[in-house]
Amino acid sequence: DAGVIQSPRHEVTEMGQEVTLRCKPISGHNSLFWYRQTMMRGLELLIYFNNNVPIDDSGMPEDRFSAKMPNASFSTLKIQPSEPRDSAVYFCASSLEDTEAFFGQGTRLTVV
């Protein structure tokens, strides 16, 4: 298996623009997670899906952030409008139920 695949790897955008991050989980995994890593806050969970259903979105910072999982093999994280403080590395991870989670290579987002 190719592991968790994220795209793009790097994204530079201007403040106010819409940003969409994409994730393909490992085939057969039924849990998907979006995390954000910053120097100030470390690695924090944004949202968690199980069987394509959002279970816990309490980590989503504000209404500008939204996430979807239309099917078992694809998820998106959207920021609209983007702000400079959204600059971070965004990771997607997947697991089979409560077993070991595997992370993608991350998307480094810079909002200028």
Which residues of the chain form contacts with other proteins (CB under 8 A)?
Answer: 31, 33, 35, 42-45, 48, 50, 55-56, 89, 91, 93, 95, 97-103, 105-106, 108
**What is the closest distance, in whole angstroms, from the C-beta atom of residue 80 to other proteins in the complex?**
25
**What is the closest distance, in whole angstroms, from the C-beta atom of residue 86 to other proteins in the complex?**
17
**What is the closest distance, in whole angstroms, from the C-beta atom of residue 62 to other proteins in the complex?**
19
Q: Closer to other proteins at the Cβ: 10 or 15? A: 10
Q: Closer to other proteins at the Cβ: 53 or 71? A: 53
Distance CA 6, CA 9 (A): 7
Distance CA 56, CA 16 (A): 27
Distance CA 74, CA 72 (A): 6
Rounded to the nearest 10°, the torsion over CA 110, 38, 65, 85 is: -60
Q: Which two tokens stand for residue 108?
A: 């480094």
Q: Closer to other proteins at the Cβ: 81 or 102? A: 102
Q: Closer to other proteins at the Cβ: 16 or 61? A: 61
Q: Which two tokens stand for residue 39?
A: 């120097």
Nearest to 87 by CA among 33, 30, 15: 15
**What is the closest distance, in whole angstroms, from the C-beta atom of residue 16 to other proteins in the complex?**
27
